[in-house]
Structures are given as C-alpha cells and as structure tokens.
Amino acid sequence: MQKYDFDTVIDRSGNYSSKWDELKKMFGRDDLLPMWVADMDFMSPQPVVDALVKRAKQGIYGYTSRPESYFESVARWMKKRHNWDVKTEWMIYTPGVVPALSFIINAFTYPGDKVLVQQPVYYPFFRVIEDNGRRIVNNPLIYKEGRYTMDFDDLEEKVKDRRIKLMFLCSPHNPVGRVWTKDELIRLGRICIDNNILVVSDEIHHDILYPGVKHIPFASISEEFALSSITCTAPSKTFNLAGLQTSTIIIPNTAYYDIYRNFIKRLQLLRNNAFGLVALEAAYTHGEEWLDQLLEYLDGNLRAFTEGIEKDVPQIKVVKPEGTYLVWLDCRELGFDAHQLNDFIIDKAKLAFESGYWFGHGGEGFQRTNIACPRTYVNEAVKRLKSAVESIK
Ligand SMILES: Cc1ncc(COP(=O)(O)O)c(C=O)c1O
C-alpha cells in the first residue's frame, strides 16, 4: 500500500491558484490564511499525476476524443462507491457542474420560470438562476439544535406555484454538510415528481463522507426517481481536479437526455480538454486508495478543528458535517452583524473564510471554512480565531 502524505505544506502561491492568488481581490488583503474556495491544498493521487505527466511529455495536444473506457470508469466508480448502476449512454461530458446547471436552466425552462433551492446553499446556484432571467424560490432549511433538516411543509406549499420547473438539490449539501438520508430524499422526490418539478441533483461532493455516513444518489432510489432527475457529478472535489474542468452529467431519461444534448450541441460544446480526460480516467481507475487515506485525514482534521474550537473558542459552534470538506460555523454568539463578522474574520483573525450571508437566507452570522489542507493550517486557524475572539473582550 502506498502511504500518501497530506501533512506536507505545498506552496501554491504564484501558480494562478484562485484560493491563494486572489486573496487581495476577494478579501482586500493578501496576508490571510486561505480556507475558502472548495479545492484542496493536497496533491492529487500519484497515478493521476503520473498519467498527466506521461500525456504532457508526448508533446502533441491536438484534438482528442473521449474513449468508451472514460465513461466506463465513471460507471465503475458509481457502482463501487455508491452502489448505483449507471449506464454509459446516460452520461454526457460537460466542462463543469455550474455550467451544466446553466445549460439545464436554458434547456428545460423559459425566462421567468422559477427554480427551487434550499438556502443557505452554494451561492453560484443563485447566479445561474438569476443571470439566466429565471427566479429563485427558497425552501429554507431548518436549523435546530446544531443540525439542518428540510422543511417539507414549506416545500408542499411552495410547489403549488406552477412556474416552478426545477429544483437544484445540493446533495451532499454545501455549506451545511448534511448528507441526505434515503427517507429525506424520498419525501423530497415525491413532492417534486408529483408537481412536475425536475430534480437536478448536484452530487459533486458525494465522495467526501465522514465515517459511517453513506451517500444515496437521488437517481438510485427508483426508476421513477432516475427518470425524473438529472445528476451532476465530477471527480473535481474528490481528487482535487477542479482546474481541469471535467464533469459528468447523468440523464437516464432519454427524452431529457436529447433535450440536454441538443442544447450543448447548439453551443458546440462537444470537445474536451486533453488533460481532463486523462485525469478523470486515472482518478476513477487508480485513485481509490488515495481517497480512502484522504477521508481518514479529513476526519482527523475535522476532529482537530472541532476539539480546538470547542476548547478555545466556545463562542463559535461547529455545525458537524456528515460530508464535504467544508465546515459551517455558527458565529452568532459573537454578536456581530453579517458585515461586522466578515471584517472580524478578515481583519482580526486574518483568515479567508466565506461569509455566511453569501449563501442566502439563514446564512447571516455564519462562516464557511475549508479543512482540506494540512493539519497545521487547521490548528493555525483555531489559534487565530482564539486570539481574535480574546481581543474583543
Ligand atoms: C455544490 C457544488 N456544485 C458545483 C461546484 C463547482 O462545480 P464546477 O467547478 O464543476 O463548476 C461546487 C464547488 O464548490 C459545489 O460546491
């Protein structure tokens, strides 16, 4: 067994990394510890690096096509990690999940139509909806005793609006870290299907799970659910490949598949990046050992972070995630409004987190951090939060 090292600090600066090189642009200063955008400060699995180096060394980067083995590697992964039987003919390559959400909106709705989201949620959902001239309908999550759940009564009421055509389901949920149970997904799916709402299940975080937690792909629940949904996946969160812009959209309903495919054909988006395709196949074929070790390391990071915050910064509550390497922090006890909290985290704690209010209703007073980094950063973040909070007293 190859033992991977997640402790080594790798200098990412000067590499056009959004997380490190956009600090000044995003947060107004560049002396912050960056724990924001959802990528990892770890190297991808060695077999992925080796495959990319081998491809790069060939030195010819002309047009490439996706072999059948590319899609088969996705299918094998879904079966092995999520017990989901996916046919390769349901899959379409797309350069990213967020672009796919935009294509879906354009392909399946008309201007003025409405899309359901569950705030606080990954905020590019809002941009995709509004930039395309559609409207957001919020089915807010319920936060009670440190845990988020879905509000089905509210959902039953909201779906009476016939202009709602889609639901963007975030599963696992960014930023609150819930991995939805089968019962929750069944209740949600039933309501959407009965009201002709197409469920778009963004499952990009599906592989990042803490011990004992199981992710249920929405479409794996039943044939009816599969035919009433579109699943968005990618190896980008799992293997830290976001910069290679390679994702897979899974559409078991052939009529929906044709609608989506025709839309991306109209955009002439049929070609792929030569490196993305190599990385995806290498990751899904040879990356499992690395992933299992990563998950252990992330669990250790989560414990170190949670224990540190509980001991040294009890005014901040960690909302315990079941999945994702993102951690949602309830900072309301500090008594700041959303903007004061933001300034406090940046100027006093010298940390680059993401402001809770960016994630919509219910995010005020919260911050989202990212623990996919060497443990020294996690411990440093606790230290910085501790001294910042002490400075208020
Ligand atoms: C829920 C969710 N969907 C999509 C994305 C981004 O996907 P892509 O980079 O493939 O557009 C992210 C990244 O953080 C995410 O958290």
Write down which residue in 254, 286, 318 finishes a domain: 286
- Please give the Cα distance from 179 to 39 (Å, whole number): 19
In a domain, 53, yes or no: no
Domain that holds residue 345: 18-45+289-392
Cα dihedral: 310, 316, 319, 320 (round 10): -20
Give the rounded distance of the alpha carbon of 211 from its chain centre: 19
Structural domain includes residue 29: yes
Q: Give residue 1's pLDDT.
A: 75
Q: Are residues 145 and 93 in the same domain?
A: yes
Reported as a single tens digit per residue, the pLDDT across 332-354 is: 999 999 999 999 999 999 999 99
Q: Give the number of other CB atoms < 10 A from CB of residue 377.
A: 19
Domain-ending residue, one of 251, 286, 321 = 286
Residues 331 and 344 in one domain: yes
Q: Is residue 184 part of a domain?
A: yes
One domain for residues 198 and 64: yes
Average pLDDT over residues 167-178: 98
- Which residues does a 6 A CB cutoff place in the pocket of ligand 1? 38, 96-98, 122, 170, 174, 202, 204, 234, 236, 242, 247
Instruction: Tell whether 150 is covered by a domain.
Output: yes
Provide the token pair at 89.
């003919």
Q: What is the pLDDT of the chain when averaged over all its residues?
A: 97
Measured CA to CA, the distance from residue 264 to residue 104 in angstroms comes to 10
CA of 296 to the centre of ligand 1 (A): 23
Note whether 313 and 389 are within 8 A (CB): yes
Residues 156 and 280 in one domain: yes
CA 387 to centroid of ligand 1, rounded, Å: 33
Q: Which tens digit of pLDDT belongs to each residue from 381-393?
A: 999 999 999 998 7
* Residue 121 Cα: closest atom of ligand 1: 1
Q: Is residue 2 part of a domain?
A: no
Atom index in ligand 1 nearest the CA of residue 37 equals 14
Are residues 235 and 373 both part of a single domain? no
Distance in Å, CA 312 to ligand 1 centroid: 32
The whole-number pLDDT of residue 202 equals 98
Q: Are residues 179 and 145 in the same domain?
A: yes
The preferred substitution site among 19, 39, 98, 173 for testing ligand 1, maximizing ligand atoms within 8 Å of CB, is 98
pLDDT band at 270 (very low <50, low <70, confident <90, very high): confident
Q: Does residue 257 share a domain with residue 356?
A: no
Asked if 308 and 282 sit in the same domain, the reply is no
- Is 173 a member of any domain? yes
Report CA(204)–ligand 1 centroid distance (Å): 6
User: Which CATH number does the domain housing residue 353 bear?
Assistant: 3.90.1150.10
In a domain, residue 11? The reply is no
Same domain, 312 and 359: yes
Q: Is residue 233 part of a domain?
A: yes
